[in-house]
Chains A and B, each alone.
Chain A
Amino acid sequence: MNNTPLQDRKNLNAVWVTLLVITFSLSIAVPTVMAQDNENCYMCHEDRELTKTVNGKKRSMFIDNRILSGSAHGEFDCIICHSDIDPEDLPHAEDLEPVDCGTCHGEIQEKHSVSLHGKAITRGDRLAPRCTSCHGTHNVVPADHPKSPVRASNIPFLCGSCHSEGSKVQTQRKIAQDHIVENYSQSIHGEGLLKKGLTVTATCVSCHTAHEILPHTDRNSSIARRNIATTCAKCHSQIESVHLQVIKGELWEKQPHLLPACVDCHQPHKIRSVFYDQGMADAQCLECHQRPNLRAEDGRSMHVNYQELGHSKHVSVSCSQCHSGVNISHTRPCDQITKAVDCSACHPEAADKHAESIHGVKLAANDPDAPSCLDCHGTHSILGQKNPNSRTFPTRVPMLCGECHRAGEKGAVRIANNDDIVGHYIESIHGKGLLQSGLVVTAQCTDCHTAHEVQKSTDPRSSVHQDNVAGTCGTCHHGVEEQFAQSIHSPFVSDTDKELPTCNDCHSAHTISRADQSGFKLEIMQQCGRCHEDITETYFDTYHGKVSQLGYTGTAKCYDCHGAHDILPPSNPKSRLSHQNVVETCRTCHPSANRQFAGYLSHATHHDPDKYPWLFWTFWGMTGLLIVTFLVGGTHTILWLPRALRWRKELHRLEKEAEEDVEDIAWSDMVAPSPPSLRKQNELADNPPDPDPTDEQKESDES
């Protein structure tokens, strides 16, 4: 046997290793010697009769030396764990601090504290599992020990002690899944572990982790949609090559949002190797549910139109994914379903938002009027939002929301004085754009109010709250929002206690009209006037304002000079009314305006002697002139009137005399220029001209 130099070297190494192992073993043996200190503890705790009363109950304080020494911690001193005991001062106090496993197992402790279980402990949940709940106390054995409760083959039973039907956790806490252990035991993983004894098969902790258990809605959870592929791939590595046709290689892990997650097809806890054949296939459900006359005990139709389902958005989702309570071991797998479909299982984000919205809050309070997912999205016939037949397709949203919020409907009764929101919307620029012009990008209900985060406008979280409106409108009217953000009305510019206007203060909410039409142009001045009261009033005293008041848009209105969204104070050089810009602004209407022309007072009043003394005194000068003139003229007339009435009577007498006086001068025979009218002829017939008026006149004179 000729050893090569290499083999010699190997032999030498083996010797070294052996020596090292021996030395190491000796060093480990030291605590065994030290453990003799535990004798002090056993002096008392060896006693099987030793008890302590906790909450009125007797608890044994006996510690079995054999169990402890056989445990993973068997070689440690008691005081390593029970660190608040002073070995010099025995017997120790009655109540010791709970053992803190984190002293040694810090990293694990940390993971556990942020997990579902850890947070439940922090909340003070009595049912929440602590270290000892799973690992035991003095009897802790290594995980691969056959007796360890956390050994792979024991895990389903350990977890199942809390997560099985009828347990306190399952009945008293909100657990989305049901029949977990039962389903698991019948799944391919459960069969592998429990029937075939494959300890490498997936147990609860393989997917959920042991200490870092998080809800699937948590981004960091091992079972979150974005992570589930990675989690499954821990065992099923290269699985993507099997699914190449569906998932295009590694897209599955890199862009999980684009693709179905593992659990979309292979339901958690019920995973079968060939899901649709052996699992809870739709065909099984339809055996019963395709019968048109199938009814529940309360008379509701339980018929499912599979045609409809086949066209729906959920075409690739099996019945049991939504109706999750099925148990395939039962002849009627659905006989134990008690819970309604929970959309949040797949749509956690939308569901969470909805739960916080005013709709969700009212729904949780059992308000019969509050909408759930189904009220808007429908059930089996659910369609994608981009499908024109969908209830949530943009052009159909106003009608959808209108089902409750139309005037007189249940939703409108409690909101905004029963205002006809939907009716107004349809007449508004957005409504016309959406429904008449068919522009699906036009703002409809959910564009402003959001779909799932609907809040009252008084709620600061609301997208239509005073503080958020500009941003909401800005999603489409971004350019305007940018201008507005620079203007005097923006809260970023004006630091004031006064309420600043936002989009809807001028444009309204549901009755938004075209800003280039005269109705809006005239109304806007009233809107400005709500805050700028004085300046609006004096504007209406000048030519521009007077014409506007008559209902014409031909003259300058507030925004023609001040701007609309980009209003700045005239002191700002960028303002349209700054010294630099004002003449140019006038020139938009008055092309040959000059600097002095711009000095016209477009908000002048003649009622303010301090600000406008010239106008004030001119006005009162003119008014004085008016008063004096009318007083003189009026007095003259009033004095004249009674005298003139008497004069009129006198004239009747004087007229005859005067006519006579002028007879020789003025009277003449003449040919009537035209035949006298019929009336005149009658008059002449009745009262022929007096042949001799002189006699009569004399008589009257004498009398």
Chain B
Amino acid sequence: MIQSQTVKTERHFQRFTRLERIMHILMIISFMSLALTGMTLKFSYTGWAVILSHVFGGFQFAGYIHRAAAVVMFGIFVLHLYDVVFTKRREYGSWKALLLGPNTMLPQKKDLQDFKDSMRWFLGRGPRPQYGRWTYWEKFDYFAVFWGIFVIGSTGLTLWFPEFFTNFIPGWMLNVATIIHSDEALLATGFIFTVHFFNTHLRPEKFPMDLVVFTGRMPVHELKLDKPAEFEKLKADGTLKDYLVEPYPPVVIRAIRVFAWAALATGFMAVIWIIYAMIFAYR
């Protein structure tokens, strides 16, 4: 006998908007595609690169995937900038409120303080800092993407249209662009698949993964414990209720979990391949 029943459930705090979540999913897909297809070339001297390249349907098709994913990522970048403007208008009213308020992505004095306190906490010489909406490592990741898009994007574009760009730069700059493109991509890939993965998924209190970036919501008590400063602020000004939503049904969570696991596994695989290539097959 199946019947609807009333249970007492904890409502969730909405941390990410729908657009942000979609952008992150697209970011994962495009970033993974770029990383894997690019790696086949960078580590072409390894056996796995040869196999992977064939899995992608050959170097030419891998190239198409790489460039298509790059276009998607550029799109996300532009969309995000548009979203920032839109959010400012809708929620903050002024750039000052957006950029200097408590929800800002820009590094603040508090971030430096949080960093110092974190070091003390890590070493057992102080309590866990009262992190706000965006921790300093989250801000670092955010601007790392800005930097990455600029550096990898510009060199990638040069390599995409070398005949055009050599009208302005000498040919050997293509070689320089290749090195920058490839090493910066290695940095991004390595960083995302190790440090970022740890900071958000693998750190013990979130292990094995934190789904908030996909669901957009987290239990309110978790917010209180993880981002106490934000919780207190929302509670104090009474706006917390505005962000409360019902949690997703389990089937949605399960689907999200499958996707997240796949992304996580792909990332780890890439890290293993890179380590293998750098240590055992480097030439």
Contacts and interface: CB of A to CB of B under 8 A. Distances in A.
Interface of A: 537, 540, 542-543, 545-547, 549-552, 554-555, 590, 592-594, 596-601, 604, 606, 612, 614-615, 618-619, 622-623, 625-626, 629-630, 633-634, 636-637, 639-645, 647-648, 651, 654-655, 658-659, 661-662, 665-677, 680, 689
24 contacts: A540-B45, A547-B59, A550-B41, A550-B53, A552-B60, A592-B163, A593-B166, A599-B170, A601-B175, A615-B175, A619-B179, A625-B187, A630-B187, A641-B204, A647-B205, A658-B221, A662-B224, A665-B235, A666-B11, A666-B13, A666-B221, A667-B8, A675-B4, A680-B250
Given A550-B53, A655-B225, A665-B220, A622 B183 contact: yes
Given A596-B170, A659-B10, A673 B249 contact: yes
A614 B176 contact: yes
B76 interface: no
B240 interface: yes
A590 B6 contact: no
A668 B9 contact: yes
B180 A634 contact: no
Contacts of B44: 540, 545-547, 549-550
A661 B198 contact: no
Given A554-B60, A633-B194, A645-B204, A626 B7 contact: no
Interface residues of B, number: 77
Interface in B132-174: 137, 159, 162-164, 166-167, 169-172, 174
Contacts of B187: 622, 625-626, 629-630
A277 B167 CA distance: 95
Per CB-CB distance, the 8 closest pairs between chain A and chain B, nearest first, are A599-B171, A622-B183, A658-B221, A666-B220, A633-B195, A546-B44, A600-B171, A597-B166
A551 B49 CA distance: 10
B219 interface: yes
B176 A618 contact: yes
Interface string B196-216: 001100011101000000000
Contact of B176 (A550, A551, A615): A615
A670 B119 CA distance: 42
B82 interface: no
B180 A674 contact: no
Interface of B is mostly: helix
Contact of A614 (B49, B54, B172): B172
A255 to B, nearest CB: 64
Interface in B67-124: 118-119, 121-124
A593 B163 CA distance: 5
A599 B166 contact: yes
Contacts of B194: 630, 633-634, 637
A644 B199 CA distance: 10
B184 A600 contact: no
Nearest to B246: A670
B2 to A, nearest CB: 5
Contacts of A552: 53, 58-60
B178 interface: yes
Contact of B122 (A550, A643, A675, A676): A643
B119 A639 contact: yes
Given A600-B162, A604-B172, A669 B224 contact: no
Contacts of A606: 179
Given A630-B195, A639-B122, 13 more contacts: A545-B44, A593-B163, A601-B172, A626-B187, A629-B191, A639-B119, A648-B204, A648-B205, A659-B10, A659-B219, A662-B221, A669-B6, A676-B7
A554 B4 contact: no
B186 interface: yes
Nearest to B49: A550
B21 interface: no
B179 A622 contact: yes
A221 to B, nearest CB: 69
A647 B163 contact: no
Interface of B: 2-13, 40-42, 44-45, 49-50, 53-54, 58-60, 118-119, 121-124, 128, 137, 159, 162-164, 166-167, 169-172, 174-176, 178-180, 183-184, 186-187, 190-191, 194-195, 198-199, 203-205, 207, 219-222, 224-225, 235, 240-241, 244, 246, 249-251, 283
B180 A622 contact: yes
Q: Which of A547, A598, A680 has the most CB of B within 10 A?
A: A547
Given A606-B179, A644-B203, A549 B172 contact: no
B215 to A, nearest CB: 14
Contacts of B195: 630, 633-634, 636-637
B41 A547 contact: yes
Q: Which of B3, B6, B163, B164 has the most CB of A within 10 A?
A: B163
B2 A658 contact: no
B178 A542 contact: yes
A672 B224 contact: no
Given A622-B183, A644-B204, A633 B171 contact: no
A601 B180 CA distance: 15
Q: Which of B9, B58, B170, B179 has the most CB of A within 10 A?
A: B179
A601 B171 contact: yes
A668 B205 CA distance: 26
Given A552-B59, A644-B205, A658-B224, A671 B4 contact: yes
Contact of A594 (B12, B121, B122, B163): B163
A606 B118 CA distance: 40
A546 B41 contact: yes
Contacts of B250: 674, 677, 680
Contacts of A671: 4-6
Nearest to B119: A639
Contacts of B9: 667-668, 670, 672
Contact of B175 (A542, A636, A675): A542
A238 B137 CA distance: 116
A499 to B, nearest CB: 26
A596 B171 CA distance: 5
Contacts of A598: 171
Contact of B225 (A623, A658, A677): A658
Given A636-B137, A669-B6, A670-B6, A549 B167 contact: no
